[in-house]
Each structure stands twice: as C-alpha cells, then as structure tokens.
Amino acid sequence: MMNNLKQPTHYGFWMPGEFEPHKSCWMVWPQRGDTYRLKAGPAQKAFVEITRAILEFEPLNVCISKEQFEYAKGKLPRQVNLVEMESDDAWVRDTGPSFIVNKHREVRGVNWEFNAWGGIFSPFDKDAALAGNILTHEQIHQYNAPLILEGGSFHVDGQGTLITTEECLLNPNRNPDLSREDIESYLKAYLGVKKIIWIKKGVFMDETEGHVDNLCAFARPGEVVITWTDDQTDPQFEISTQAYEILSRAIDAQGRKLKIHKIHQPGPLFISKEESFGFDKVDDAKLRKEGDRLAGSYVNFYMANFGIVMPLFDDPKDLVAMDAIQKIFPERKIIGVHTREILLGGGNIHCMTQQQPLSA
C-alpha cells in the first residue's frame, strides 16, 4: 500500500473513541513460551474465552502464525475470521495499527514504529511489521508515523482529547531524541487530537512502563474510569491519587471538566510458587518469579459494540468491580473473563485487542 507523505490531519482524519461503533476487533493468537507459562497452553484457554465473549458483540479477526494455524483453528470458535499472519507476541493493542476516520467514515490506519517496549523483549521484527501487514490485508491506506509508540500507551475520546503518561512516552528508551513538545506534535498530527492530558505514572509494577490503558480509560466523552485503592500503604495509592488530581483539574478539548469513576483494583496480586514455573528460560531477567507483584487492573477491559469484556482474577473484588462497571455503562452488557494466565504474561484483555472502526 502506498504511503502519503502528508499527515492524516491534513486530510481531516482523527482517531475515534473505543466506545464508538466497530466493524470488527483484531487479536493475535498467543504462543510465546517465554511470555506465557506451560508453552502458552493456559493462556490460550483464557484467550479462547475472551474470543467467545467478544463474538457476542462484534466480528473478530485472529492472526495466527503458520506454525500454530491448524492447532488454533481447532480451538477457536468457528465464527472467528482466521488470518495467517506472523507475529512475535499477542499484544496487538501495542503492535497493531491505530485506525482513524474522517467525517465520511472513511477508515485509514497509522503504523507506528515499535521497539518492544524499549527493547525489553526480542525478537520483535515480526511485531514491528504487524500493523503494516494488517492494514495491507484490509487494503486500508496507511501512514507510517516516525514515532515509537504503543497503542496501550494512550486513550482518546474521539473529540480531540488524549490521555497518556509521562512514565511511558517520555521514557528515554522510546524516543530519546524527542522532547515532550515533539511527541505532542506527532500525536496531534497522526491522531487528530488537540488536547493532551499527561498523567505521571501508570499502574505499579506494570512492565510496559506506564501504559495508560491499565490505569484509566475514557468511558465516553467527558468521562473516565480510573484504577483505585484506598490502602494508603500500597504504592498504587500515591499513583492513583496523583492521577485523580491531574484528571480532576483537567479541561478536555471541548472545554469540559472530566467526570471520574474509581474502580478498586484487585488484590494486590502476586505470583505464586506454582505460577513461577513453566516459562521458557531465556534469561533470568525475563522470568516470572514467586512473589513478584502483578499489575492487575479491572480497567484493562475492551469496549465492544454494546458490551464490555473485562478481566476477572478469582479475587473477592471481582463482583464489586463488575457491578461498578455495569453502573458506569448501563447501556452495555458486561462479560467477565478469568484472565490471570494472561496477566502472568504481562498484560490483559485491552492489551490483546484492537478495534477497527465502522466505515461508511
């Protein structure tokens, strides 16, 4: 697909909110043994349950490597659109394209540069090519943005406002030669936003180094949900309190003050002795160790058409969180999926999904 040298905003394109209508959802089959334990078997079972939930609301495309294609085909629901496409891992929120639209609901895509969250995993060449391959597969015009960026590091409201974290986007392992102003210019040029709200940090011990999608999300224009804890001894308390204060003072691109909903975090959750085994050993730094804290968050949900697919953790707070989210989204059906095995790999449902907006 030929790329135009001019930026999307020149043609009136912007990224819609996740709560807007979708044509479909994209996911990638998990198979990496150093990310998921026991050769990814337990994670694959959780993945299948996520696909079943999403299919209640919208069409679903799953990218699968040639090596695992027939195996995955036998496990996934028959309604899934299977796409043979190579990848290094399953976090398509970060490796897939950011879809953008114009007033005529024409859909195009942004292909960001990718360096595996600052180089914490390798190889990542297949992941770096994934966004372009998806856009080519869909025959969607793409813009190659000269910025290292993961889709989980920002949320947009579709009306000109973007939320992100300093911890991630200003990290020198992403774009060391760019200033905050430079990064803002790229976000505005490729996503069509006008106002950027900078939160300091993401969820405590999140190995993505502060992805905002684990901490907060737009429920709709002018409203956000945020991960919360009342435990002042928990490191997450200071992070969430600081984020809440920033969001409370913020004015969005439309001149609105934000309505903020608190969702209490699970746990805290920690890796058990049993869960620390079964990972392919690459080096000790990448192993999940007994007692390590997991960055569990109910906010890492996916907003499907008329639905919310949210993570559950076999935690006493699960039902409380589901009830709270149902009250925030009374117009949507809430489906919870037990995803601790996904969390052991470093992410959750939102990290594994990427919405493609409905076109005209």
Would you say residue 48 lies in a domain? yes
Q: What per-residue confidence (pLDDT) applies to 278?
A: 84
| pLDDT at residue 3 in the model | 43
Closest CA to 210 of 248, 236, 176: 236
Q: Supply the CATH number for residue 84's domain.
A: 3.75.10.10
Euclidean distance between CA atoms 215 and 86, whole angstroms: 30
**Does some domain include residue 301?**
yes
- Enter the tokens of residue 286: 């990448």
DSSP codes joined into one string, 169-209: HT-TTT-TT--HHHHHHHHHHHH--SEEEEES--STT-TTS
* Separation between Cα atoms, residue 216 and residue 239, nearest integer Å: 12
Evaluate if residue 4 carries a pLDDT over 60.
no
The reply to whether 3 falls in a domain is no
Instruction: Evaluate whether residue 146 is within a structural domain.
Output: yes
Question: When comparing pLDDT for 171 and 6, which is higher?
Answer: 171
Angle at the Cα of 332 from the Cα atoms of 253 and 17, rounded to 5 degrees: 25
Provide the token pair at 303.
Answer: 């907003």
* Half-sphere exposure of residue 124: CA atoms within 13 angstroms, side-chain side: 19
- Kindly name the residue from 25, 63, 168, 351 that is annotated as catalytic: 351
Domain range holding 320?
A: 8-357
Contact 27, 61 (CB under 8 A): yes
Residue 1, burial from CB neighbour count under 10 angstroms (0-12, 13-18, 19+): middle
Q: Once rounded to an integer, what is the mean pLDDT over residues 41-50? A: 98
Number of domains in the chain: 1
pLDDT over 80 (residue 286): no
- pLDDT tens for 176-192 read 999 999 999 999 999 99
- Confidence band for 254, pLDDT divided at 50, 70 and 90: very high
Is 351 marked active-site? yes
The whole-angstrom separation of Cα 275 and Cα 291 is 10
| Matching residue, tokens 């579709």 | 158
Q: CA 351, 353, 359: angle at the middle one, nearest 5?
A: 140
In a domain, 2, yes or no: no
Tell me if 106 is assigned to some domain. yes
β-strand 107-113 against 259-264: which pairing, if any?
unpaired
Q: What are the pLDDT digits (tens) for 68-78?
A: 999 999 999 99
Q: Is residue 1 part of a domain?
A: no
Task: Tell me what pLDDT residue 287 has.
Answer: 63
Alpha-carbon distance of 136 to 83, in angstroms, equals 12
